[in-house]
Amino acid sequence: MASLGRFARRLWRDQKALALIEFAYSLPILTMLGMGGVEIANLSITHMRVSQLALSLADNSSRAKQEIVAGVPHMREYDVNEAFKASALQSGGLDVVHNGRLILSSLEVNEQGGQWIHWQRCFGDAKYSSSYGKQGDGVTGTSFPGMGPAGKQVKAESGFAIMFAEVVYDYKPLLFASLVPPQAIRKTAAMYVRDDRDLTQIYNPAPAAPVSSC
């Protein structure tokens, strides 16, 4: 018993490997905090990448055209498809084709001076629709307010068109679904058409290109 008592007192005073023991206690907490930081950083980066996809889609489609000799340039179904393909390539590992939806709308002015979604095209496997209207909305009258969040809608001017791009991406967490649950990331961008464009229709000359209808 005396020997056991001396051993216990010696063990109580022994401070060898104290830092290692403290680190072992704190390691699970530090690991959780580190992985949580990685998850939040990945979510932030994905938001930025989806936002850039929307901006790029609006920009590319605002520049696309087919030059016409002694006429106004046309927008074709082929041009829309090429803008979608460019966004798909830009998305890289996000694989927006299978994990998201690209929606491109041409916002114009109708005969009564109101806002009008003349045409709308979609690309991607995810089954999302536009948050701000569908093709044909506002074809007559002036009740359609434009496209965008309430109170912040963009509006086209007579004789011009706005390319309004929406990108919806199904985000899947890397590690902690309880911290950052799966969610749909939605981003929008709008660009005025850069040059003259025939707004009477979206053309599809032979050989006809597939129509990316919604």
Residue 192: pLDDT band (50, 70, 90) is very high
Q: Check: pTM over 0.95? Answer yes or no.
A: no
More reliable by pLDDT, 196 or 16:
196
Q: Which residues face 185 on adjacent strands?
A: 169
Reported as a single tens digit per residue, the pLDDT across 127-144 is 999 999 999 999 999 999
Residue 32: pLDDT band (50, 70, 90) is confident
How far is C-alpha 159 from the chain's CA centre?
29
* DSSP helix/strand/coil, 167: strand
- Quick check: 21 pLDDT over 80? no
Q: At what angle do helices 77-91 and 18-63 cross, to 10 degrees?
A: 170
The number of C-alpha atoms within 13 Å of 159 and in the hemisphere containing its C-beta is 3
pLDDT of residue 156: 94
Q: What is the DSSP letter of 107?
A: E
- For the chain, the average pLDDT equals 88
- Quick check: 194 pLDDT over 90? no
Structure tokens belonging to residue 93: 């590992």
Structure tokens belonging to residue 92: 């890289």
- Residue 89, CA distances (Å) to 72, 84, 94, 108, 165 in order: 30, 9, 10, 29, 16
- Quick check: 13 pLDDT over 70? no
**What is the spatial distance between Cα 62 and Cα 54, in angstroms, rounded to a whole number?**
12
Residue 18: pLDDT band (50, 70, 90) is low
Residue carrying the six token digits 């290109």: 209
